[in-house]
Amino acid sequence: MPDSYASPINASTRYCAVLGWPVRHSASPAFQNAGLAALGLNWRYLAFAVRPEHLAEVIAGARRMQFIGLNLTVPHKLLAYSMVEALDDSARRYGAVNTIRFEALNAAGEWRPLAEFEGEAAGEIRAQGFNTDAEAMVRALREDLDFTPRGATVLLLGAGGAGQVAALKLADEGVGRLWLVNRTRSKAEEVAQRLAATHPQVRVQVGYPAEPVDLVLNATSLGLRAEDALPVDTAQFPLARARLVYDMIYRPAETPLLRAARAAGCRTANGLGMLLHQGVKALEIWCGRPAPVEVMRRALREHVYGHV
């Protein structure tokens, strides 16, 4: 897709952005800007590398500059939870924020998205946090691997922000049995304890299973760099024991984990579908209109793969 927009940047252009550390790998600007152009919005979507210790002041700066909204990626999703003034049910449910919408009070005293205000909004502006990752993950697993969590057995790698959301969503969807593995075992144990309290019907265990599983799901950042080790210890869990392997990483398109899984005979998919669907929902939260999903899908695939 050519790098073209509905209109040139001018003094009335509004802004959204993704914040991460690192963030250069992000494909979000490519497909979000395609969506904005298709909607005829005089907005631009940017990407900023933000160190974790600077996150609060950057969110405050975006609020002051009246950005429409923000996305948060690794490692900011848990940190941002305490940096917003309001939380949507989705953020409260999963304890992480990957989307922020800036809002102001309208004439009736109601908090409304900045997208609804002509020009600069007067008065107080607040940040409301949302989580669009959980639903996006389930939708991508269904579309890309024909996988549904109900009754399934899953090995989840990672107990950070993405891993916690994934564990809770899988439990919400009725996963049959869930194994949690994390570099720091205590973090996996914390997630297991939370699930035991909120979803007692789900069998949760910390460590590798001795039996085959339906799905291995990577929610760690291992694989972003060529020199990264595999996120799974294949001595403890050979990948041939898994039917499906999903890696939330989408760049590189085939991570070392997916390459090893494919060689072991597994069906595999990367995180491109999850990225698409979380971004589609974020755009709809910001603008209050249905997003042009297929336009955004084509732009994302072309950006990452070089073809549609």
* Residues 47-67: tens digit of each pLDDT: 999 999 999 999 999 999 999
Instruction: Quote the percentage of the chain above a pLDDT of 90.
Output: 89
Q: Is the pLDDT of residue 243 over 60?
A: yes
Q: Is the pLDDT of residue 308 over 80?
A: no
Global pTM value: 0.93
Residue pair 296/276 in contact by the 8 Å Cβ criterion: yes
Q: Is 187 a catalytic residue?
A: no
Q: Is the pLDDT of residue 5 over 70?
A: no
Mean pLDDT for the stretch of residues 9-32 = 95
DSSP string computed for 80-101: GGGS-SEE-HHHHHHT--SEEE
Lowest-confidence range among 20-29, 87-96, 288-297, 299-308?
299-308
Please give the helix or strand (H or E) that residue 126 lies within, else none.
strand 125-130
Q: Can you give the pLDDT at residue 131? A: 97
Q: Can you give the pLDDT at residue 1? A: 42
Mean pLDDT for the stretch of residues 295-303 = 96
Q: Can you give the pLDDT at residue 2? A: 45
And the tokens for 220? 């760690």
Domains and CATH numbers, the chain: 14-131+275-305 (3.40.50.10860), 135-270 (3.40.50.720)
Q: Can you give the pLDDT at residue 9? A: 93
C-alpha distances in Å from residue 35, one per residue of 31, 44, 192: 6, 10, 38
Mean pLDDT of the chain: 95
Within 8 A by CB and 6+ apart from 76, the residues are: 19, 20, 21, 50, 52, 55, 161
* Cis, bond preceding 75 (omega within 30 deg of 0): yes
Question: Angle at the Cα of 237 (from 234 to 241), degrees rounded to 5?
Answer: 115
Mean pLDDT for the stretch of residues 269-273 = 97
Q: Is the pLDDT of residue 240 over 70?
A: yes
